[in-house]
Structure 1
């Protein structure tokens, strides 16, 4: 039995479920942490933690009818298997909870949602890294793979540690901000100041003779990082928008690298923990000595495994453990988190009848299917990139894997459209092969639906 199953079973069996502190104690004790450590990390008094824990061990002992305490908790429950009664209890709990709080998957998975699926060891690696002075994290994955959901949890964990957190989303910046490096860095500093609830004092530190980059660094070093006593986790979200302006990216990214290098020398820079979040990696050439992407911890979010898809289905109230449904869905969409969640949402919202899955999959690659709105956004992007459209058309119509020009293959892979094996490309999932065959073949007749208008790929709809 896993700790997730233990927690879920207790939530399902107890009238009042579990409190947040009870769940923290369970999970931390499973990891072998002491009460002192649990109290410190959860920001509770140790006496309260011990009191809640004592009640919890009694509850567990009564439930399993054998003595359970902190020292034997994991040893006692790990060999257990969920009985059919327990499985049914969890299934009914999931179905009831889902009916109350079903979320349409068009935004990050909220912190209190039951539908967030961890992808070990990703979360623990990131949590450990942000606790490290001067840390540097890069999180890269195509759109809709769960980056924003992970960032919500990173920020929450940082706040629980007493850190200050700032999350800048570059897609919120007006086009005029990118007109010059100086304007961009001033916008950057001003927004970080306000997020830290500090008065912007740019003119006190900006020096035309020193240049924008040095001024920006001095502003952080001598003002922002000195004004706050606790570490600062700075999340730079949607960094792709900066990539669209090569001159600015070519100066800003090496600046981020220099801050990390400064943390190895100056203590004040160890307060800063940088998190860079982006979908498509920058293709403009950067020397290895200037690129920030070969530093610190690099996280590339993986697709869901079969076990994780079954877990998510169970959390939607569907019992797929002994059926072919998981295999059928993954044969169409792989383990893509958004595509899987959208299918489960529609199955449950239509009554949770598992027989609907075959109908859903039969329509999946058509304009009547549930994925059409999502897929046509890719059509938009490819319509503005004829060379990419031609190359992708070659991939989805070929019997075997296709060798493409490295940059083309890299772009399609960063977009999430293809899998790469060495220098060979294949469609990322069967859904893409079937849908885009009708949209991109033949390429010379490739058009987009009238309702999309004439938007260009730089509108970044994907």
Structure 2
């Protein structure tokens, strides 16, 4: 007998179900572990473990009518085979349990479900990690691979050992929450307070002058963590939703990392144990020292093995002990947990007729199969993003893994269609290969007919998602994408690329003194001035600007095929920051920056701040940082950004209202 068979036989024989601790003791004793190590690994007291074990040995001795204890447990039972009556007992138990608990696999596997399959050593590692002061766990896997189900169990284990728990699911947040960082962090703190059943006291800790991030940290440190006596496990599910708002992710994700670093120095932060689950690689350009995803314990959820599929089939009341059916299912769906469970659900739902598996697999990659609704979601997704459809078509047609543009590869990986090995992608499973091979082929004609229409629609969508409504300039998200494209282009062509970072001096004080309406008007005037200065400085009235049409990199280059060095993009980079990216050398970039500085000052926007001395002028001014370089293939675009930021920082330190080259 195996330990799984012993446990199943006990469950089928005993009037009461085995507790989680009883099952841990049985499995650990089978492996020869001591009571001390079992207690440490399970995070229970050793005395309790010994009492549970003594009761188990008595149950086993009564069941087999002979003395069974820890020392002879495996030695006594492993050589024996299940008798026919025992096999029948287990089979009836599985069928009865399945009939009662059969559930459609469209949500996280509940804690009391018999259909959760552990993937050792993932659960054990996670349980151990949350006991470490200030720890962080990063769970990464494509959609429907079991991230939420694992989080449920981590939180349940935390409760069992006396910890406080909070679970935040970002997809439950209204879109308005992501309007700005301050609103987002207040929503975040309010929800954590509610989960801890503490009164939200945001106004007592929020200080506009200190900023949202410091206010949020103080709220956690001096209120939330101080109000609880035990460690707090904070689970952040669907972190991908934050990635969709780069302006927020740029600040929020490094904030999480800073809490991890604080735990090394400040004792109270050691109470916080963070668990994050996400599907994609982060696309916000963070420095390595800012990212929260390269700290703590990284966990990647693998697909089910053949043995795990057999185990799950047995829990559904199916006899797949020879392994052939499990191999067939894994060969089709690649061990994907959701796809495996859906097949088993339909098999059992049809009366447990195992002969139906062949029919299910035959129809699986068609619009009449059990996966039709699931696969159609992908079809709609690929229709909206032709770039992904083209990449998937290339992968399916290839005999070897294909190298893709990183953003495309990570999108396909995050939705589960491909596996990634380094920078190479291959289709996740045979189901996707067969289905999309047919779908992409049959729709090729109609897709080609609609290419122009889809491009127009996608262009409109890009405009809506990439445009800053107030200034009619592109936003930081678009700027970052454009920078990557132009960096690669400049590296290939060996031409300079310059970035100008412009910041309105003392704008927060201006906004507070004169009001939001005046502040918005000021931003619009300065945006128009920058636009006109760039156009005048480059001497090319045909340049495309995001204010009238969000040109892609290809559009801008085609508009300037005779003067490629004049390709330019103006963006609203932050609240009061603007960024200009151009194929100009350092001298030309400084000239543009000086022109912007002079023309903004010439607007003569009055700004008198009583009680504040040392202002550069009695009108609104700007400080500018300039960086210019010829990109090298092995360098990153962030190099240019850092240099421009350094120039801007020096311009402010030297008194503002000036241009400094970084």
Q: Which residue of 2 aligns with 1:445?
A: 446
Aligned to 1:280: 280
Query: How far off its partner does 1:68 sit?
Result: 1.3
* Contact 1:35/1:50 (8 A) holds in 2: no
Aligned partners of 2:349, 2:101: CA distance in 1, in Å?
11
SS in 1 for 2:168: strand
Change (3 A) 1:322 1:21: closer
Counterpart CA distance in 1 for 2:144 and 2:69 is 42
What is the CA deviation profile of residues 248-268 of structure 1, one whole-angstrom value per residue up to 9, with x for unaligned ones?
A: 011100000000000011100
Whether 1:59 aligns to 2:68 is no
8 Å CA contact 1:35, 1:46 repeated in 2: no
Relative to 1, partners in 2 of residues 1:178 and 1:383: Cα closer, same or farther, differing over 3 Å?
same
Aligned residue number for residue 415 of structure 1: 415
- Structure-1 separation of matches of 2:62 and 2:378: 55
Name the counterpart of 2:187: 187
Check whether the contact 1:169–1:237 (CA below 8 A) recurs between aligned residues.
Answer: yes
| Equivalent in the alignment of 1:451 | none
Unpaired runs of 5+ residues, structure 1, are: 449-453
Q: C-alpha deviations, 1:295-352, integer Å up to 9, x for none?
A: 0001110000000001101111111111521121111111000000000000000010
Q: Retained in 2: the 8 A contact 1:133–1:273?
A: yes
Residue equivalent to 1:121: 121
| Farther off after superposition, 27-36 or 366-375 | 27-36
Larger mean Cα displacement after TM superposition, 316-325 or 148-157:
316-325
4+ runs of 1 displaced by more than 6 Å? Answer: 39-45, 454-458
The alpha-carbon distance between structure 1 residues 433 and 30, as it changes in their structure 2 partners (threshold 3 A), is same
Question: Which residue does 2:499 correspond to in 1?
Answer: none
2:202 aligned partner: 202
The alignment's TM-score, normalised by the length of structure 1, stands at 0.90
Name the larger-Rg structure.
Answer: 2
User: Superposed, which structure 2 residues align to 1:213-362 within 5 Å?
Assistant: 213-322=213-322, 324-362=324-362
Counterpart CA distance in 1 for 2:146 and 2:440 is: 27
Say whether the 8 Å CA contact 2:238–2:278 is kept in structure 1: yes
Task: Tell me how far apart the structure 2 counterparts of residues 25 and 354 of structure 1 sit (CA, whole Å).
Answer: 34
Give distance in 2, aligned partners of 1:310 and 1:255: 43
- 1:206/1:215 contact within 8 Å kept: yes
CA gap of 1:134–1:388, structure 2 versus 1, over 3 A, is same
1:332·1:361 contact (CA, 8 Å) conserved in 2? yes
Aligned alpha-carbon RMSD (Å): 2.8
Give me the TM-score of the superposition, normalised by structure 2: 0.64
CA distance in 2, matches of 1:39, 1:260: 25
Q: Which runs of 5+ in 2 are unaligned?
A: 451-456, 465-662
Rounded Cα–Cα distance in structure 1 between residues aligned with 2:82 and 2:260: 47
Return the alpha-carbon distance in structure 1 between the equivalents of residues 19 and 180 of structure 2.
51
Write the mapping of 1:65-214 to structure 2, written as runs, cut at 5 A: 65-78=65-78, 80-82=80-82, 85-214=85-214
Q: Does the 8 Å CA contact 2:280/2:410 hold for their aligned counterparts?
A: no
Q: For residues 324 and 358 of structure 1, what CA distance do their matches in structure 2 show? A: 12
Contact 2:143 2:414 (8 Å CA) reproduced: no
Is the CA contact 1:393–1:443 (under 8 Å) kept in the aligned structure 2?
no
Contact 2:35–2:46, Cα closer than 8 Å, also in 1? no
- In structure 1, C-alpha distance between the alignment counterparts of 2:378 and 2:237, rounded to whole Å: 21
- Contact kept in structure 2, 1:141 and 1:278, CA below 8 Å: yes
Give, in whole Å, the separation in 2 of the partners of 1:403 and 1:50. 55
The 1:443/1:423 distance shift into structure 2, 3 A limit, reads farther
Stretch moving more, 171-180 or 324-333 = 324-333
- Structure 2 distance, partners of 1:90, 1:446, is 54
Deviations, residues 74-124 of structure 1 (Å, cap 9, x unaligned): 454455554555444322221221112111111111111111110000000
1:33 and 1:199 map into 2 onto residues whose CA distance is 45
